[in-house]
Amino acid sequence: MANHLLPPNATPQERAVSEALSRTDTINVPIRALWRPHDCPARLLPWLAWALSVDEWDEQWTEAQKREAIAASIHIHRHKGTVGAMKRALASLGMEIQLVEWHQQTPIGPPYTFRADITLENQGLNDATQARILRLINAAKNARSHLTALRMIGSSKGRAYLSGWEQSFDTVTVQPLTLNEAAVPPSPYFLGATTAAYDTTTVLPL
């Protein structure tokens, strides 16, 4: 039994607790890994996200999306109020953002406003996605700037296979020499012929 400072009248429950706590130093607790987004056990990711103040969290995300959102959180909080923070926040969810500020628009828009064009790779476009994007933008932008328009662009990548074939035909026409009896040249005379060849190539689309 481990050494303890319990009085002689300690209850069995108190003695059991003391016995259990006396061996805590033998439990392997990977503290460093728990604070690393890419090493933390998957079941503990929600707690790490809470500890690092991740602005947007969804249990329906894939494990890779959760880890990326946590990894981006520190950078986002350090650079909140900048364009880079908004891009990093959306990039962690597989979205690409292009901001057009008021002085870059034609005609020039109201001062301190901006438009956002969001490209989503292989993701559905719905009200929930739009609401999530707006929350991320409002959490990362500065208080002075205001979003006036949001355009969402769906993008999907894949492989496309094309094939084709070629047909080639040769047409050869040999025309005989025609002699007029009234104009038969004196002997000896020579006969000749001409050959014309044509190639026709047709390319048909797939």
pLDDT at 100 over 80: yes
Residue that wins the pLDDT comparison between 194 and 45: 45
Domain ranges of the chain: 32-155
Q: What angle do helix axes 83-91 and 127-140 make, rounded to 10 degrees?
A: 140
For residue 194, is pLDDT > 70? no
Report how far residue 5's alpha carbon sits from residue 186's, in angstroms, rounded to the nearest whole number: 143
Phi-psi region of 81 (alpha: psi -120 to 50; beta: other; left: phi over 0): left
Q: Considering only 19-28, 150-159, 180-189, which range has the smallest mean pLDDT? A: 180-189
Give dist(CA 74, CA 79) in Å, integer: 9
pLDDT (0 to 100) of residue 188: 64
3-state secondary structure the chain: CCCCCCCCCCCHHHHHHHHHHCCHHHCCCCHHHHCCCCCCCHHHHHHHHHHCCCCCCCCCCCHHHHHHHHHHHHHHHHCCCCHHHHHHHHHCCCEEEEEEEHHHCCCCCCCCEEEEEEEEECCCCCHHHHHHHHHHHHHHCCCCCEEEEEEEEEECCCCCCCCCCEEEEEEEEEECCCCCHHHCCCCCCCCCCEEEEEEEEEECCC
Amino acid at 41: P
Instruction: Give the dihedral of Cα atoms 138, 142, 143, 149; nearest 10 deg.
Output: -50
Residue-wise pLDDT tens digits, 54-69? 988 888 888 998 999 9
Please tell me the pTM assigned to this model. Answer: 0.53
CA dihedral (107, 110, 112, 117) positive or negative: negative
pLDDT for 189 equals: 58
Please check whether residue 99 is in contact with residue 115, taking contact to mean a CB–CB distance below 8 angstroms: yes
Among 87-96, 104-113, 172-181, the least confident range? 172-181
- pLDDT band with cut points at 50, 70 and 90 for residue 183: low
